[in-house]
Structure 1
Amino acid sequence: MGTGAGRNTAIIVGAGMVGLATAWYLQERGYEVTVVDKKGPAAGSSWGNAGWLTPAKILPLADTSLWLYGPTALVDPDAALSVPPRLDPGMWAFFARFMSYATPRGWDRTMAALAPLAQASLSAFDVLDDVLPAEHRTRAVPFVAAFEKRSESEGFFSEIEGVRHHGLTADLEELTDLSEYAPMLSERVSVAYKLEGQRFIEPGHYVEALARSVEERGGRLRTGETVTRVRGASGADRLARVELASGEDLSAEHVVIANGAWLPSLAREHGVRLPVRAGRGYSFSVATSTPARYPVYLPYHRLACTPYEGRFRIAGTMEFRGPDEPLHPRRIEAIIRNAEPLMRGVDFEDRRDEWVGSRPVTPDGLPLVGRTASPGVYVAGGHGMWGIALGPATGRALAELIDTRGVPAEIEACSPLR
């Protein structure tokens, strides 16, 4: 019958943050878990992102500013939001639907639905911090938000007021001296704020440590395996099945599809019709003359920067292309053009770890978490830019749903069948 057959068993398809967190929290409830991935832990969008755990910045991707900025995405290949001009009716239908949520009412409705999961995010990390090695635990430090001109901060403050309205804490203090918190920012930055109550991780290392924890607790991690199909529970044994490209079949009481931007390929036949598109993000790391200690956010240019392995990781852009397309160097160059004037003591020629990752984006800005139309088959994905921050809270909530059949408040609005 294959690996994982039996009661209180689960197969997780995908070894990113969401999939591994789901496996870990199912183990907490006594489940035997097998995680299957075509590459390995953190091989997708879990590796090269900024690693921000920021409830105050978990926001709907579609907001009213897109009506001014969106047309630029269609004509400027260097824009932070990029939609390549190509004949792809599915992409244009997705983008039109995505823009339909870029209204004050749409933003507020999506934020209200995201807020419970965002509020639960750090407590889910706290549980993991108790078992992961000290060097991989979350780091609570101030975040710096910086602007060239005060007028550029208006959108940022509007977002802060929005998350506060929905019950999230966002403590801001204006900085008069950047030398302690962000010495790499140049004199062109005239306004900066310190945001407290947030955390960060080095995401690739963290997810790899989480995978080791799952294995140490008895879980099985099968890498180099391509899943071609998931079938709902049927037959006398009432087990769901996972078909591998090798011809092997795995079975378990529950199967969770958590394969990021590739989710539709497996979930569509289980009644999950909401489209998921790859919103690709880019990053690289650079050397700085003064070691970076705190994350830095440049909201106007949509750049997120984080201390990383003694260097400074710079991440940005939202590029709608196929999830398997290669890295486009022009996108890296666009990030540099935006960041370089605002920084000093940063060696942009000494770039390492150039990366592109495919983040799974839904048109309504909400993840897909919960039961599908097929018995024993669940989905966990579609978090957009927030898969790292919301992964553990998602895994904890989904594990509760699988174990108790009750839908936790954090994911009530996230039904994959909506």
Structure 2
Amino acid sequence: MGADNRIDGAPRSVIVVGAGIVGLSTAWFLQERGVEVTVVDRVGVAAGSSWANAGWISPALAIPLNEPANLRFGLRSLFSRAAPLQVPLNAGPALWSFLARFAANSRPSAWRRAVRANAPLSAECIEAYDVLVANGVDAPVTDAPITAIFRTSADAERLLDELRRFSEAGRPVFCTELTGAALRERVPLASSAVAAAVQIDGQRFLDPGRFVTALGRAVVERGAALHTMDVTDVAPTGDGAVVTGRDGTTLTAAAAVIASGAWLSQLTTCWIRVPVRAGRGYSFTVPVDGPVTGPIYLPDARVACTPLNAKLRVAGTMEFGDPDAPIVPARVEAIVAATRPLLDGVRWAERTDVWVGPRPVSPDGRPLVGEVSPRTVYVAGGHGMWGLTHGPVTGRLLAEQITTGKQSAVLRELDPLR
């Protein structure tokens, strides 16, 4: 490497560490700007939280996790085995320190700042998907409202109040309360226990594994190299960056992007003071005996249901802990127990594709996106539950910063060195 490592200030080549929705979106938009891209991942495309999540592109629900009500809910349910939020009893000091920072950032003022910081990503997320699909990412994306269901109108009012506060803090939401025949028409699977619903318009859904696989295929077809590599170090070299694997293999380029999801902090502690921890989510697929007209949200159970391939994907839980830990069957049973009373015609005993994936969670509700070493090393991660929603627009904004050297106003609030 040397003086010819850049063209008009932009890097000729970039290594992207991480082949999930954020890393591959960054790679794709870098290619749009003429950059030669290499993508490395310790397992392969969509191997982390991108594979079997709920598949929602839901800007109206991209509410930062440090919402004060979430803290109150979490404190009430912290050690309940049936609760959707779980912290292991043997949690170490690092996790407790993270949770303490999360609690400190659950003040209303900190949450409003997180809403304002994420709002531009939500405003542009649909368009970013449109760009990908219109330019060769061959996977379906479906427009549909998300419908939240409740036992009582009072329960529905709590979500409506949360959405109003979300709107007032900077993100408009368009929704309608449903009861009676309108509710049954919208959600045919709703049981007799469901008395109210909220239809949230302007959302989308997709099969995340299929979409991210198609995105990875498009990146490779456009000339990228894709390597399986367990990265242990990313370092600037003065005129570029070097990526080192566990087996001693090294790759060099003019710059590198660390987009390794829940494992982000393992590669960035020398630069970043904001930790990223794994909030593990579970999902499984079940057959249904009736039509599913669109995504169904159960806020009280913290469960998301998505129609996929004539079945229903059911996803939920926020389990803090080791991103590489195995599935805990009790968490799946807890999701079933919380969801069964509200949905009829679901064959719970026939569930398949049981999965757990680690979401990368930051303690202040803001992702970490931007430069950490001048013109050579960048990061993108910490989106929490909204990586699928915000991944493509994050990639587009970061690709712009990498190639122009200018930090946009949108990314200023997401600065990883904050």
Interval of TM-score (by shorter of Structure 1 and Structure 2) = over 0.9
Q: Report the counterpart of residue 49 of structure 1 in structure 2.
A: 53
Q: Report the counterpart of residue 40 of structure 1 in structure 2.
A: 44
Amino acid at match of 1:164: S
Quick one: distance in 2 between partners of 1:317 and 1:331?
7
- CA-CA distance at 1:87 after TM superposition: 4.8
Cα deviation 1:123-151 (Å, max 9, x = unaligned): 111101102455x1321112111100111
Cα deviation 1:184-242 (Å, max 9, x = unaligned): 1101000012211111111010000000110111111112x1111111132xxx12101
The answer to whether the Cα contact below 8 Å between 1:46 and 1:203 also exists between their aligned partners in 2 is yes
Cα deviation 1:330-369 (Å, max 9, x = unaligned): 0000000000000100000010110110011111011010
The answer to whether the Cα contact below 8 Å between 1:50 and 1:313 also exists between their aligned partners in 2 is yes
Q: Report the counterpart of residue 355 of structure 1 in structure 2.
A: 355
Unpaired stretches in structure 2, ≥5 consecutive residues:
none
Quick one: distance in 2 between partners of 1:162 and 1:254?
40
TM-score by length of 2: 0.94
Cα deviation 1:379-402 (Å, max 9, x = unaligned): 000111011110001000000000
- CA-CA distance at 1:262 after TM superposition: 0.6
SS of corresponding position for 1:390:
helix
The answer to whether the Cα contact below 8 Å between 2:115 and 2:170 also exists between their aligned partners in 1 is no
- Verify: 1:232 aligned to 2:236, yes or no: yes
- CA-CA distance at 1:166 after TM superposition: 4.0
Do the aligned partners of residues 196 and 87 (structure 1) sit closer, same or farther apart at CA in structure 2, a change above 3 Å counting? closer
Amino acid at match of 1:105: S
Quick one: distance in 2 between partners of 1:165 and 1:66?
18
SS of corresponding position for 1:110:
helix
Following superposition of structure 1 onto structure 2, how do residues 95-244 of structure 1 map, counting pairs within 5 Å? Answer: 95-132=99-136, 136-175=139-178, 176-177=180-181, 178-223=183-228, 225-234=229-238, 238-244=239-245
Q: Report the counterpart of residue 334 of structure 1 in structure 2.
A: 334
The answer to whether the Cα contact below 8 Å between 2:29 and 2:396 also exists between their aligned partners in 1 is yes
The answer to whether the Cα contact below 8 Å between 1:18 and 1:258 also exists between their aligned partners in 2 is yes
- CA-CA distance at 1:67 after TM superposition: 4.3
Amino acid at match of 1:239: G
- CA-CA distance at 1:172 after TM superposition: 1.4
SS of corresponding position for 1:372:
strand
Quick one: distance in 2 between partners of 1:93 and 1:410?
28
The answer to whether the Cα contact below 8 Å between 1:233 and 1:253 also exists between their aligned partners in 2 is no
Quick one: distance in 1 between partners of 2:76 and 2:401?
42
Quick one: distance in 2 between partners of 1:167 and 1:138?
26
Do the aligned partners of residues 67 and 41 (structure 1) sit closer, same or farther apart at CA in structure 2, a change above 3 Å counting? closer
Amino acid at match of 2:174: D
SS of corresponding position for 2:397:
helix
Q: Report the counterpart of residue 269 of structure 2 in structure 1.
A: 268
The answer to whether the Cα contact below 8 Å between 1:48 and 1:357 also exists between their aligned partners in 2 is yes
Amino acid at match of 2:13: T
Amino acid at match of 1:148: R
Quick one: distance in 1 between partners of 2:409 and 2:123?
11
Q: 1:79 aligns with which of 78, 83, 86?
A: 83
The answer to whether the Cα contact below 8 Å between 1:24 and 1:214 also exists between their aligned partners in 2 is yes
Quick one: distance in 2 between partners of 1:187 and 1:396?
45
Quick one: distance in 2 between partners of 1:249 and 1:62?
38
Unpaired stretches in structure 1, ≥5 consecutive residues:
none
SS of corresponding position for 1:325:
coil
The answer to whether the Cα contact below 8 Å between 1:239 and 1:254 also exists between their aligned partners in 2 is yes
Aligned residues: 409
- Verify: 1:89 aligned to 2:90, yes or no: no
Which is worse superposed, 243-252 or 334-343?
243-252
- CA-CA distance at 1:410 after TM superposition: 2.4
Q: Report % sequence identity.
A: 46
- CA-CA distance at 1:167 after TM superposition: 4.3
Quick one: distance in 2 between partners of 1:78 and 1:233?
49
The answer to whether the Cα contact below 8 Å between 2:137 and 2:218 also exists between their aligned partners in 1 is no
Q: Report the counterpart of residue 279 of structure 2 in structure 1.
A: 279
Amino acid at match of 1:56: A
Q: Report the counterpart of residue 256 of structure 1 in structure 2.
A: 257
The answer to whether the Cα contact below 8 Å between 1:283 and 1:316 also exists between their aligned partners in 2 is yes
The answer to whether the Cα contact below 8 Å between 1:120 and 1:410 also exists between their aligned partners in 2 is no
Q: Report the counterpart of residue 396 of structure 2 in structure 1.
A: 396
- CA-CA distance at 1:81 after TM superposition: 0.8
Which is worse superposed, 14-23 or 400-409?
400-409
- CA-CA distance at 1:152 after TM superposition: 1.3
Q: Name the Cα RMSD after superposition.
A: 1.6
TM-score by length of 1: 0.94
